[in-house]
Structure 1
Amino acid sequence: MSHHPPFQQVEASRPDFDADEQWRVTKTVSPDWTPGTGANGRQDLPGVKEGLWDGKKQEAAKFREVDPAKENKGGLYKMMISAVTPRPIGFLSTVDAQGRTNLAPFSYFNIACHDPPIVMVAFTHPNGQELKGTCENILETKEFVANMISEPFVEAANFTSIDAPKGVSEWPLSGLTPVPSKLVKPARVGESAFVMECVLEHHYHLHNDAGVRTGTVVLGRVKLFHVRDDIIDDTLLVDTGKLQPVSRLGGITYGRTTRAYEMPRPVFDKEKEKEEVKAILAKV
């Protein structure tokens, strides 16, 4: 029995989705920050006045030590997915050995390398004997397609997370469009603006302290990208505002990507000539 009100009741109390809030780039949090000064100390950010973001004020910020060996695994899951955020979503299309299709989102996903182009996805399994359907399909056929999720079809993508039994395809339930891939058997999502056709590069099974197989990490080599013309320029830079990417946060929460700020990487040969940097280096 859930302790939370029905989701439709909760959602009805919230403001409408703001489609007018589009991609914009602002100044950084503290444009006047100087080397060696630590946290920016901006007082209008939550917790700054109270000293919670000042590492020198240990009396202000109390920390809890969480020993994974002593905690409930469900609690660890809740903590990790709500803290390590935002995360890109691996929206994977696969086929099984019988050719049956599967489409599902996974939040343990990211790029791992660009030369060669490698994506990483990790699966947690229902028990020590059974694999998640998508993982099983990848290990059997050695192919998958990673489709990036954008706001114009986020509801359809989320619906593919339904706990359908193996062999039941999520494609028709979502209403999304399967488009034949060029190099692999699984179809790509026609609504996705950025798609990667992948073949299995390597996989590694994970075991808990009791020796039970609980997860699998999969590395896929990208053999072909499909990028919609309007979101990419001649240098291969993708326009975030046009891509409208969606990220995963904790629980059932998704994140929008509508605002950003830019910070150039410091170059040591230039920074070492500044007086404040010279002073710091002299003390090292």
Structure 2
Amino acid sequence: MSRHPPFKQVEATRPEFDATVQWSTTKIPSPDWQPGTGASGRQDLPGVKEGLWTAEGGSYKEIDPKEASVGSIYKMMISAVTPRPIGFISSVSPSGSLNLAPFSYFNMVCHNPPIISVSFTHPSPSELKGTCENILNTKNFTANIISEPFVEAANYTSIDAPKGVSEWALSGLTPVKSKVVDSPRVGESAFSMECELEHHHHIYNDAHERTGTIVLGRVRLFHVRDDIIDDTLLVDTGKLMPVSRLGGITYGRTTSTYEAPRPVWEKESEKEEVKEALRKGEQKAKV
């Protein structure tokens, strides 16, 4: 028996999805921040007034993964390492069966050559997740970015259906034939990558049981919808409307941003506040 009330009952108490909230860019939290001053100290941010965002602020738990349950470590990590991009991975089995599933252990790792990573946790030491098994057998897959207009369909593909059941059919999304690889891309996705398997590495726990596999895929072809990309190949995040993964069953929207230029040493090194920050840093290092 679940200790949580039925989800639909909980959802019914929440405000309606607000489609009027559009992409916006604000100032950074503390535009007058100076080098060497640490946390901004902005008092209206939660916990700042209480001193929680300083080196001495708050008390800390130390969690040794050897002494905690696997389930609790999973729960902690997915709720802390956020937001995570989601790889909506399409694969095909050697017999031609199509598979589609979302994975939030996903990211880009290189742009020259373009390489992305996706990792899988497995049902048992002797069994691979269907998507992983397909990739290792056929050496290809496609990765699609999930956007708000089809997040419900994408989420439904996370169902624990047995092998052989088509998540494509359950989602109602459209498989579009790829140009370079066998795995189709998601027609509704505004950004898709056709990938060939570059490398894989199995992961073993302390009991020497295989618990996961990380896959590196080399992107052989990108598909980007015309209206979200400019002539410099910069993708407009506001139009892409990407969905991120947070803890538990929670997804995140990307609707508000702020910008922070990357500092250039040649210019910054001559500023008095930078020189003073370095002097103070040297003094701390001697303590």
**Same fold at TM > 0.5:** yes
1:98-135 deviation digits (Å, cap 9, x = unpaired):
10000000010000100000000000001000000000
State yes or no: 1:15 paired with 2:15.
yes
Deviation at 1:275, TM superposition (A): 1.3
Alignment of 1:39 with 2:36, yes or no, is no
Deviation at 1:281?
A: 2.8
SS of residue matched to 1:70: coil
Distance, in Å, in 1 between the alignment partners of 2:80 and 2:276 is 36
TM-superposed CA distance for 1:280, in Å, is 2.4
Structure-1 separation of matches of 2:137 and 2:148: 32
**Which piece of structure 1 moves more, 271-280 or 258-267?**
271-280
Give the match for residue 153 of structure 1: 150
- Distance, in Å, in 2 between the alignment partners of 1:139 and 1:175 is 26
- Aligned partners of 1:156, 1:266: CA distance in 2, in Å? 41
Task: State the shift of 1:226 in Å.
Answer: 0.1
State whether structure 2 residue 172 is matched by structure 1 residue 172.
no
| Rounded Cα–Cα distance in structure 1 between residues aligned with 2:100 and 2:232 | 31
Supply the RMSD in Å over aligned alpha carbons: 0.7
Aligned to 1:64: 61
The residue type paired with residue 51 of structure 2 is G
| Residue identity (%) | 73
2-structure distance, mates of 1:164, 1:171: 12
Aligned twin of 1:78: 75
2-structure distance, mates of 1:43, 1:129: 52
Q: Deviations over 1:199-235 (max 9, x none)?
A: 0000000000000000000000000000000000000
- CA drift at 1:282: 3.7
CA offset digits 1:208-265 (Å, max 9, x no partner): 0000000000000000000000000000000000000000000000000000000001
TM-score, normalised by the number of residues in structure 1: 0.98
Q: 1:272 Cα shift?
A: 1.3
- Aligned ranges for residues 1-284 of structure 1 at < 5 Å? 1-55=1-55, 58=56, 60-283=57-280, 284=282
Distance 1:9 1:89 in 2: 27
Distance (Å, rounded) in 1 between the aligned partners of 2:145 and 2:257: 19
- Can you give the 5+ residue segments of structure 1 that lack an aligned partner in the other structure? none
SS of 2:207 mapped into structure 1 = coil
**Which 5+ residue runs of structure 2 have no aligned equivalent?**
283-287
Q: Name the aligned partner's letter for residue 186 of structure 2.
A: V
Q: How many residues align?
A: 281
